[in-house]
Amino acid sequence: MTGRAYNFNAGPAALPLEVLQQAQAEFVDFKDSGMSIMEMSHRGAIYEGVHNETQALLKELLAIPEGYQILFLQGGASTQFAMIPMNFLQGRTGSYVHTGSWADKAIKEAKSFGNVQIAATSEANKYMNIPALSTLNYPQDAAYLHITSNETIEGTQFQQYPDTGGVPLIADLSSDIMSRPLDVSQFGMIYAGAQKNLGPSGVTLVILRKDLLGDVPKSVPTMFRYDTHLKNNSLYNTPPGYSIYMVNLVLKWIKGKGGLAGIEQLNREKTGLIYNAIDTSEGFYTGCVDADSRSMMNVTFRLANEELEKQFVKASEAAGFIGLKGHRSVGGLRASTYNAVTRESCEALSAFMAEFQRVNG
C-alpha cells in the first residue's frame, strides 16, 4: 500500500500524521543532544523536561484541579484492574457497573482481592446499553464505584457520569480519554492505556486524587503501589520514555485542534457520518447498541448475515480500509474512530458503506 491507510483499528490505533512526522524528524537527534530520546537517561534534564511538560499539558487540557496527581505507569489498563483493588479495597467492598467485556475483566480481577458488588449490569440486554444512572445501587461505604466509560468491544459509552457523593468514582477511560471534555473533579481516579487516543502502547495514564490513598498493606509489592509512583513522580524505575514523549506530541496536537471541545466537535462529526450511513440504510446495516448508549469512539454494526459481513470486510480491505472486523468475541463489524482517525477516513467509509449497499442490497 502506498500512502496512509484508512485506519479504523481498535487499538493500537491511528496516530496523527503530523505527530509521526515530528517524531521522525526528531528520531535520531533529539533537541541537539546527539542521541534519540530513547538513548538518554531518564534522570537527565532533557527527558525530565518532556516528562514534566507532558504532565503540564494533561493538567491544562483536562483542567485537572489541585489535589490530583498524574502518573505514568506500565502494564496497560489491565494492570490497573488489579492495582485498584490492591490499593483501595482493604477489607471493604468494591462496587462495579458491569457494562460489557472490559468491565467484566476488571470485575474478575477484583474478585481475587476482595469483596465485589455489582451496582448495575446490562447483561440481560447483552450489554447493548449503559444502565440508567438512576438504577445504580451500591453501598455507601463502598471503597469505590468502578465504571468503564467506553466499552471498546460492544460500542457503548457513558453519556454522563454518576454523581457518587462520598463514594470515589473510578473510571476506565482507555478508549475515550481526551475525546471530549471531562470534569476530573467528579472522579477519585481515572486511568487509560495510551494506545487509542493518547499515543503508542507502553504507558498507562493514571490521574489520582491523592487523599484517597490510605495505608496500603506491606504485602502489596512496591511497583503495584500507587504511593510508590506518587512519591517518585513516576520515576521510581525507568519509565516508558518514548511512549511518554509520543503522548507529549499527541497532547500538543490536541491543543492545536482547539483542546477537548474542539476534538469533541470533530469526533461527533466523524462518528455522525458512520451512524448516519447505518441509520439511513433502511435496515441493510443495523447498529448493535441502543441509540442512547452509542459510543463516539467505536461504532459497532451488523449486516444481515455473517457471510455478508465477511464480504464487507474483504471488500473494505481491498478498498484500503483497515480494522473493520468486529472483535472476535462478538463478531459483526466495528469502526473505531479515535481522535486521530481523520474526517476524510470517515467520509470515505460512509461512501464505501453506501456503495457496498448499492451493490449487495
Q: Which is nearer to ligand PMP, 87 or 149 (CB)?
A: 149
Report in angstroms how near the CB of residue 155 gets to ligand PMP at its nearest: 11
275 binds ligand PMP per the rule CB under 6 A: no
Q: Answer for the pair 198, 249: CB distance below 8 angstroms, yes or no.
A: no
147, β-bridge pairs: 171
152 binds ligand PMP per the rule CB under 6 A: yes
Burial 81-95 (b: 16+ CB within 10 A, else e): bbbbbbbbbeeebbb
Question: Given the rule CB under 6 A, which of 74-82, 220-228, 238-246, 283-291 is the region that contacts ligand PMP?
Answer: 74-82
Cα 184 to Cα 186: distance, rounded to the nearest angstrom:
5
Cα 335 to Cα 321: distance, rounded to the nearest angstrom:
10
Write down the catalytic residue from 104, 172, 176, 253.
172
Q: In what order do the strands lie in the sheet with 144-148?
A: 68-73, 204-209, 189-193, 169-172, 144-148, 93-98, 115-121
Size of the site for ligand PMP (CB under 6 A): 11
Write down the catalytic residue from 102, 104, 253, 270.
102
293 binds ligand PMP per the rule CB under 6 A: no
Report in angstroms how near the CB of residue 207 gets to ligand PMP at its nearest: 15
Q: Which is nearer to ligand PMP, 7 or 350 (CB)?
A: 7
Whether residue 102 lies in the annotated active site: yes
74 binds ligand PMP per the rule CB under 6 A: no
11 binds ligand PMP per the rule CB under 6 A: yes
Binding-site residues from annotation = 43, 77-78, 102, 152, 172, 195, 237-238
Of 181-200, binders to ligand PMP (CB under 6 A) are 193
Among 148, 179, 197, 293, binds ligand PMP (CB under 6 A): 148
Among 57, 77, 84, 333, binds ligand PMP (CB under 6 A): 77
Cα 229 to Cα 237: distance, rounded to the nearest angstrom:
9
102 binds ligand PMP per the rule CB under 6 A: yes
Q: Which is nearer to ligand PMP, 149 or 345 (CB)?
A: 149
The C-alpha cell that represents 174 in the structure block: 482507555
Cα 211 to Cα 281: distance, rounded to the nearest angstrom:
51
Q: Which is nearer to ligand PMP, 201 or 233 (CB)?
A: 201
Phi first, then psi: give them for residue 2, nearest 5 degrees.
-105, 150
Whether residue 172 lies in the annotated active site: yes
Residue 144's identity, in one-letter code, is Y
Give the contact letters, 157-176, x = binds to ligand PMP (CB under 6 A), - = no.
---------------x-xx-
For 95, residues 6+ apart whose C-beta sits below 8 A from its C-beta are 116, 117, 118, 119, 138, 139, 142, 144, 145, 146, 167
Report in angstroms how near the CB of residue 150 gets to ligand PMP at its nearest: 6
5, 11, 38, 268, 320 from 2: Cα distances, Å: 8, 22, 28, 29, 10
Binding-site residues from annotation for L-glutamate = 43
Write down the catalytic residue from 104, 176, 196, 270.
196
Q: Answer for the pair 119, 106: CB distance below 8 angstroms, yes or no.
A: no
The C-alpha cell that represents 314 in the structure block: 474483504
Q: Answer for the pair 96, 124: CB distance below 8 angstroms, yes or no.
A: no
State which residue has the least CB distance to ligand PMP: 76
281 binds ligand PMP per the rule CB under 6 A: no
Among 58, 69, 76, 251, binds ligand PMP (CB under 6 A): 76
The C-alpha cell that represents 142 in the structure block: 463502598
Binding-site residues from annotation for pyridoxal 5'-phosphate = 77-78, 102, 152, 172, 195, 237-238
For 178, residues 6+ apart whose C-beta sits below 8 A from its C-beta are 61, 62, 197, 198, 251, 254, 260, 263, 339
Give the contact letters, 103-142, x = binds to ligand PMP (CB under 6 A), - = no.
----------------------------------------
CA angle at 93 for the pair 90 and 96, rounded to the nearest 5°: 125
What amino acid positions are annotated as catalytic residues?
102, 172, 196
Give me the residues that bind ligand PMP (CB under 6 A), please. 11, 76-78, 102, 148, 152, 172, 174-175, 193
